[in-house]
Structure 1
Amino acid sequence: MHNTDRVSNLLGAAALAVTDRTRARVADAADVSPSAAAAVVVLSASPGLGVTELGRRIGLSQSATARMVDSLEGTGLARRAPGAGRLVQVTLTDRGRRTASKVLCARADAVAEVLSGFGGEEMAALEGLLGKLLARLYQGVQNADLLCRLCDRSSCVEGAVCPVGQAERDEAGV
């Protein structure tokens, strides 16, 4: 029998420490806010999103996202362009794409450093546990885009199935 309070406490402390480390590395590498970092990563994977959809994917209101996009435009990371009907599409500039790459590299470096002490069997066990944890977290969030807003999607699906994407498909009955 495991002490659930202890496991909860250990997970909470580890999650906060990894988050703090990741945010610090991303901020240093990209010189943008956490929301802007998420936005450039999302736009690098899904160019041409509207402001409302971008906000949904990064967890901001439409008005907050519009202000953030103004800031991204002001710093030369993104631009708006007319889309179909009244839609205004947001795309990254070359500088924005380089920033997205820096964000993903900084995130990967921060997490790799945390995992560097684990051996192969431990990594395999952790991968399975994290897959289950992410599928469970999806049940509460119900938004794969939001949950994975800073994910390097290619590394998640290379030779495997994304647990969040699978949870989303399972929920939809697909």
Structure 2
Amino acid sequence: MHDERLANLLGAMALAIHDVMLPAVVDSSGVGVSASAALVVLGAHPGLSVSELGRRLGLSQPAAARMVDSLQEQGLVTRRKGTGRVVHVGSTRRGREATRRLLAARSAQLVDVLGSLTARQKQQLEPLLGTLLTALYRQIGDAERVCRLCHRSCCVQDALCPVGQAERSLAGG
């Protein structure tokens, strides 16, 4: 199999996974993709500033502020004044429930996709995905951005997260 065909298959798979995963995430959370990712990031790192949350999602500060406004209007996050102009964001109980639902919906879709593989194929796929994620982390350069919709507890259960490991390796740790 030549690289161009393999790359084409990978691209088609990435788009198809996107097409089945993201609608389930959005439907279960009741908010858009970026807002869903914000809830996941805040679940892992409560109290981030609006600017830092935006940076981790790849949003400008004004776009992040508008998204936080919307999440706050829906009762999913709260704001807390920090020092200076810094505003910290945290999830409400409703926000944490939405996060739990969206991660479960995401997982269900992805487990369904993997259901077409044998146990041996799944075992072979895991290290390959780790290698690809490490390469993507090196290209993107931001673990939080790569993992913005990750179910973090699943990734580190009985294993090291390949993205986190790549970040530590690059930092010399």
Alignment TM-score, normalising by the size of structure 2:
0.97
1:75-90 to structure 2, matched below 5 A, reads: 75-90=74-89
Query: Partner amino acid for 2:35?
Result: A
- What is the CA–CA distance in structure 1 between the aligned matches of 2:58 and 2:52, rounded to whole Å? 10
1:139-154 to structure 2, matched below 5 A, reads: 139-154=138-153
Structure 2: give runs of 5+ residues left out of the alignment: none
2:11 is matched with which residue?
Answer: 12
Q: Which moved more, 1:91-100 or 1:78-87?
A: 78-87
1:110 is matched with which residue?
Answer: 109
Q: Match of 1:81, SS?
A: strand
- Give how far 1:85 is off: 4.2
1:166 is matched with which residue?
Answer: 165
- Give how far 1:108 is off: 0.3
Query: Partner amino acid for 2:102?
Result: V
Q: Match of 2:26, SS?
A: helix
1:23 aligns with 2:22: yes
Deviations 1:81-134 (A, max 9, x none): 122443211011110000011110111011111001112111111101000000
Structure 1: give runs of 5+ residues left out of the alignment: none
- What is the CA–CA distance in structure 2 between the aligned matches of 1:59 and 1:95, rounded to whole Å? 24
- What is the CA–CA distance in structure 2 between the aligned matches of 1:92 and 1:170, rounded to whole Å? 31
Query: Partner amino acid for 1:137?
Result: L
2:124 is matched with which residue?
Answer: 125
- Give how far 1:142 is off: 0.3
- What is the CA–CA distance in structure 2 between the aligned matches of 1:70 and 1:91, rounded to whole Å? 12
Q: Alignment RMSD, CA only?
A: 0.9
Query: Partner amino acid for 2:77?
Result: A
1:48 aligns with 2:34: no
